[in-house]
Amino acid sequence: MYSRIIAVAMPILPIDAGRYGSREIRSIFDDEQVLRYSLEFEACVAEVQSMLGIIPRDAGIEIARKARSGIVRLERVKELEAVREHDVAAMVEALVEVCDDVAKPWVHYGLTSYDVVDSRIAMQLRDALVVIERKMKRLTLLLAEKAVAYRDVAAVGRTHGQHASIISFGLKFAVWASDMLIHIKGIDDVKDRVLVCKTLGVVGTGSLMGDRAVDVQSMVAERLGLKPIDAATQVVSRERIAELVARLALIASTLEKIAVEIRNLQRTEIGEVMEPFKEGQMGSSAVPVKRNPIKSERVSSIAKIMRSMLIVALENIPLWHERDLSNSANERFIIPMSIILLDEMLDSMISVISGLVVNLDNIRRNIYVSKGQIFAEFVLDTLIRKGMDRIKAYSIVQSIAFNASLNGMEFRDALKEDPRIKSLLSVEEVDSLFDAEKHLASSSRIIEGVVDAVYSVCREEDATS
């Protein structure tokens, strides 16, 4: 016998359940706040229109007061939307209901629904990007600190998954910090094109407000901390949204790049780093000894979604004529999701980097896993400096290294026994090539340059306030 199933209203998406994204960032996109942004836009428009004599002064004051009073309730808007099947129209009707008779005719005057929607989206992004930028700066500062901390630590540099040459372990973090700086500047740049206000009506002409529509738009934009759109149809061109989503996807991809490196370095056979692991945490439900890099894996997983949303944003650019509705439904997903998921990724990576466990013994051990063959680049260079032809020197070093591997010999010992090497290099000269710390080259200068740039852009108070 089947038991009776009782329907209970529950969130479906993990974002709705609060699994991903901070409360701070999610609150910007919840229904209640969406209504507040929309009403604030209506209030600013009415105030400006009354100042310019487009609508009666008393009407502008009344509309603004009621829009900001909190008496327009989300529940009522939802009731009206269920009938009207138009969310903005429902909001406007709910505002009209609470205004006095003088103001009722002038609510939403000369506007179209997407004046509200696009300006509201810009207001949400205005506030959300403050949070995102703060966390980006915090992460970048952490990466810079790690770069300095491990600047003089020699480590294995890997290409194609193989040991290649010696790297400063701190240089890994400096590269990531440099990448994040590019994104910080990119976000700041894209704001000029995304944080825009539109009040130009049904097809972007200014509609009922005539020549003064441009003045209304400029004044409303200033009040909202936005920029007036230079030209639009019924909607702000979707190239702007696509550019933002592209930038967010790029940031997500950089975060995944960091995460993938941490995941690889945490592999048992490498063991150079480990994600922080708190008391009571379980890495595996079956294997008690597992300490899985779950935060880095979460970053990699979310990055796939982030990149996929760019395709949707690009598809929204070619709308019909002055607009159609084919962008509307999907933007209810991709705009909040791209911000909220990036916020989650930043929080995860901040946690990982701030608590990262670095195993210096394993870093040192791994340099010599190849029995010294990681120093082949420096042997080759020394032979060339002694006057040997590069191709000949390359061939000799390669053959010695391959034979040493077959015979399980230390590369250094194989070099010392080879007559071609003995004729050019003394034992002391060979030994001197196998000191890892001598091969950090310009690492310190590179790291110092990145750190200086980070500190000039990411002040501590900006990253923590």
Active-site positions? 160, 284
Exposed / middle / buried, residue 427 (Cβ in 10 Å: 0-12, 13-18, 19+): exposed
Q: What is the DSSP string of 104-135?
A: GGGTTTT--HHHHHHHHHHHHHHHHHHHHHHH
- DSSP 3-state assignment of 50? helix
206 phi/psi in degrees, rounded to 5: 100, -15
Rg (CA), the chain: 30
| CB 299 within 8 Å of CB 349 | yes
Q: Given the structure tokens 């005539």, which residue do they identify?
A: 210
- DSSP 3-state assignment of 166? strand
Give CA–CA dist 40/229, Å, rounded: 18
Give CA–CA dist 374/370, Å, rounded: 7
Alpha carbon 214 to its chain centroid, in Å, reads 34
Q: Given the structure tokens 């950089």, which residue do they identify?
A: 254
| Tokens of residue 264, six digits | 């690889």
| CB 80 within 8 Å of CB 90 | yes
Q: Cα torsion at 15, 113, 240, 209 (round to 10°)?
A: -150
Q: Given the structure tokens 């903005």, which residue do they identify?
A: 88
Give CA–CA dist 272/293, Å, rounded: 13
| Tokens of residue 238, six digits | 């979707």
| Tokens of residue 290, six digits | 């597992």
> Roughly how many angstroms between the first and final C-alpha of the chain, as a whole number?
58
| CB 457 within 8 Å of CB 184 | yes
Give CA–CA dist 11/188, Å, rounded: 34
